[in-house]
Each structure stands twice: as C-alpha cells, then as structure tokens.
Amino acid sequence: IFPNKDLKIDNVQRDLLDALLRAKRSSENNNTSTHDVGLTEDPVLMTVGDIFRAGVETTTTVLKWSIAYLVHNPPVQRKIQQELDNKTGKDRHPQLSDRGNLPYLEATIREVLRIRPVSPLLIPHVALQDTSVGEYTVQKGTRKEWKNPELFDPGRFLNEEGDGLCCPSASYLPFGAGVRVCLGEALAQMELFLFLSWILQKFTMPAGQPLSDLQGKFGVVLQHKKFKVIAKLRADWEKIPLMQQC
C-alpha cells in the first residue's frame, strides 16, 4: 500500500494515512523532527489495521444489538417507522440532515448504547456500607444508576414533550470521555442512524420463536450471540419496484 519512494507527496493532509505516510517519509529523509520516532512500515500497517478493526467491529456489534432489541420490542419498531413515515415519507431515503427530525430513532440508538455498551467497564462495583460522595448519600448495596436499568425504554432519552432528546444521567458515556474518548464517535453515530433508518423505513422484523438471548458474550467487545432474523418488506414498499427502492 505504500507509494513509490520517488512519488511526490502533496501537502494536503486528507486523513490519518496521509499523516502517517508523511511521518514515515520524513523519517526516511532524516528529518530531525521525526527521525527519532523510527516510523517504519510495520507501525503504519498496525495503526491502519487498528482503525479498521475498531471502526468496523464496534459499529456492526451495536447494529446487531439494535436489531435484537427491536425484534424483542415490536412497539418500538412501529413507533420508529411511524416517525420515519411522517418526517421523511417514502419518496426518498433518510439523510443525515433528518437526524434532528427523528428524535425517537435517535433515542433508540442511545438506549441500545446504554443497555448494551460494546465496551463495558470492568466489573460492576457496589457500595459495601452506607457512605457519601461529596454532598450525595450512597446507601449500602447501591450499584445501579438508571431507573429500571434492564428495561429497554428509548423514552428515557426524550424530553417531557417527547419531541426532543435529553440526557437523563451524567454517567451516560458510551464512547468514553476525556483523552480516552472514542475517536470514531461522530462517524459511528452517523453510521448507526443511516443503517437503522434505511432498514426500518422498508422492513419490519417480526419477533421469531424463540427470541434471541440478550445476555451477550464477552470478547474484544460485548457481542450478541448468533441469531436469525426474518426481515419482511413493509406493505407500502411491496408495491414499489425493487430498482426504485435502491
């Protein structure tokens, strides 16, 4: 993947790979600012590989969890589809500019990231005795932040009117925070919105028997166990030729 050494590299830095290749070239040319780094092909390849793995595996895992919870919760599916029908219609695909007009879909994505974060933090911690943190009292046995934490409820991320988003807890940090925040947060949010909106605009995923297990399994990320889903075209879309749907 590396360009010929005689190939001129322009000064436009379009992405991370451009920056890595420029640093590698500077190192090879004995540039004092980067020579000590010793940047070779191996770290460039490993860095690019890490970016692809982190960006693909995490997003696809969240999509699988989203599909699983939607199958378990048909009313949530119907509400998202009603929102899509009312706000985007059937004449075009949802676009990123529609995100502000589809709060229930956005709230559903947030709820999936809350209930099944792909990178949960270590093991649960619990207060062994009554204590306090600053002005807050913490009772013995406290370990849960959310009301009905195992209940899948996108509504917890909506305001009282139900037409806008809110964040009910400062502990909601699915992408981390500070210097360890996920670099791909913005991209992941866009991908999740586009994939789910396009799928739910056209398809309904009825609950099968038996329903999939929502416990998950630990690996590099918290993965859903394998399951099958039957996606059926919604009634209004069955009348539209396939070529017009793409």
Binding-site entries for heme: 182
> Are the CB atoms for 139 and 174 separated by under 8 Å?
no
**Strand runs (DSSP E) across the chain, as ranges?**
131-133, 136-138, 203-204, 217-218, 222-223, 232-233
- How many secondary structure helices (H) and strands (E) does the chain include? 7, 6
Phi-psi category of residue 141: left, alpha or beta, with phi > 0 → left and psi -120 to 50 → alpha: left
CA distance 132 to 138: 5
- Can you say whether the dihedral through the CA atoms of 223, 225, 227, 229 is positive or negative? negative
Residue owning tokens 């009772």: 139
Q: Which residues pair with 138 in a beta bridge?
A: 131
Q: Which residues pair with 223 in a beta bridge?
A: 217
The annotated binding site is made up of 182
CA distance 165 to 156: 9
